[in-house]
Amino acid sequence: QQKVQQSPESLIVPEGGMASLNCTSSDRNVDYFWWYRQHSGKSPKMLMSIFSNGEKEEGRFTVHLNKASLHTSLHIRDSQPSDSALYLCAASPASSGSWQLIFGSGTQLTVMP
């Protein structure tokens, strides 16, 4: 079973609209959350990270984290066709032991012009 669950699997929003993506970890050992974006045919690139409860905003992108529920969400306002991509949520433990970044299956976002 996937330790990092993402929803929805796919999402279509109109240009200028708001896209909201969700991610939950079933592993209580995780402490750090990441969002990576992967355009078609390209490699994943880190978009945003969040380590503390609350909200973090960078331009049109906002990330929320609720550590109690191990839930993070990514919101993209004023969505652009160039935002169309696979959005991957990842989680990692805060401890310094053997560490690996676990990815969810992703949300495929399509922004329609």
Partner 1 sequence: NAGVIQTPRHKVTGKGQEATLWCEPISGHSAVFWYRQTIVQGLEFLTYFRNQAPIDDSGMPKERFSAQMPNQSHSTLKIQSTQPQDSAVYLCASSLAWGSAETLYFGSGTRLTVL
H helix intervals, the chain: none
Min separation Cβ 14 and partner 1, Å: 26
30-38 and 19-25 beta bridge pairing: unpaired
Token pair, residue 102, equals 């676990």
Cβ closest to partner 1, residue 50 vs residue 76: 50
Min separation Cβ 23 and partner 1, Å: 13
Min separation Cβ 2 and partner 1, Å: 8
Cβ closest to partner 1, residue 44 vs residue 76: 44
Q: Which residues bind partner 1 (CB under 8 A)?
A: 2, 31-32, 34, 36, 42-46, 49, 51, 88, 92-96, 98-106
Cβ closest to partner 1, residue 69 vs residue 96: 96
CA 49, chain centre distance (Å): 9
85-93 and 107-112 beta bridge pairing: antiparallel
Distance CA 108, CA 86 (A): 4
